[in-house]
Amino acid sequence: MSGHSKWSTIKRKKGANDAKRGKIFTKLIKEITIAARMGGGDPEGNPRLRSAITAAKAQNMPKDNIERAIKKGTGDMEGVAYEEILYEGYGPGGVAVLVETMTDNKNRTVADVRHFFAKSGGNLGESGCVGWMFDKKGTILVDREGVDEDELMDLAIEAGAEDVIEEETSFQILTEPEDFSEVVDALEKSGITIVEASISMVPKNTVEVTEEKKARSLLKLLENLEDHDDVQKVHANFDIPDELMEQLS
């Protein structure tokens, strides 16, 4: 299983605790706000906003929260002005790491991100140093329970998806960014429950991490980054063998 899929699985397992701390809602509200600021408050004409709303609904965010976030983005309500910054670097084992952030204090954010990399034995790099190792894709996760794989495959591909990948407890659907909304639409109209949907950076290939110490340090780095209030998403191209992943879990 690739780093993208494995880290998504890990995040979903710890998601219940994050939700209690309000971290998931905070990150989703930021994304909705900046999407509305950049592309307007109508999700039909703003694919990024539509993606953010879909992700918020998958986490059972109340409608009022979503509407307030949109209004803050469009300027109809007062809100914090966030700046988007992408950080790139290498984690333990030479794993490429992309860190998407939204911050109102970039000096604080870069200091914290650099600290996490250094603490793990990795290093924060220059802009562009690892971004070329990833492709931007629409990723949609669907719960496996009660879903026929062949029917899902036919529906998704017909709607414009590139691939459907079977995972332990879910199906991961990959799309080109421009086809993302149409595939989400087709799934929703067919009554299929979407667990998570977003535009993500998917690694072109992976780096295998087999040493327990490096694997543990890498996962700690990713967790520290994910838990930071200014970090929206973390992408990495690692591949840890399932047996080692079980030990670390």
Which helix (H) or strand (E) segment holds residue 177: the answer is: none
**Whether the Cβ atoms of residue 159 and residue 151 lie closer than 8 Å to each other:** no
**83-132+205-248 has CATH 3.10.180.10 classification:** no
**Whether the Cβ atoms of residue 199 and residue 51 lie closer than 8 Å to each other:** yes
- pLDDT tens-digit profile of 58-85? 788 899 999 999 999 898 888 778 889 9
- pLDDT tens-digit profile of 194-221? 888 888 899 999 999 999 999 999 999 9
Using only C-alpha atoms, the chain has a radius of gyration, in whole angstroms, of 18
Options 3.40.225.10, 2.40.30.10, 3.30.70.980, 3.60.110.10; CATH for 135-203 is: 3.30.70.980
Options 1.20.1250.20, 3.90.330.10, 3.40.630.90, 1.10.10.200; CATH for 3-74 is: 1.10.10.200
Domain boundaries, the chain: 3-74, 83-132+205-248, 135-203
- pLDDT tens-digit profile of 124-167? 999 999 999 999 998 898 988 888 889 999 999 999 999 999 88
Binned at pLDDT 50, 70 and 90, residue 180 comes out as confident
Question: β-strands 231-236, 194-203: how paired?
Answer: unpaired
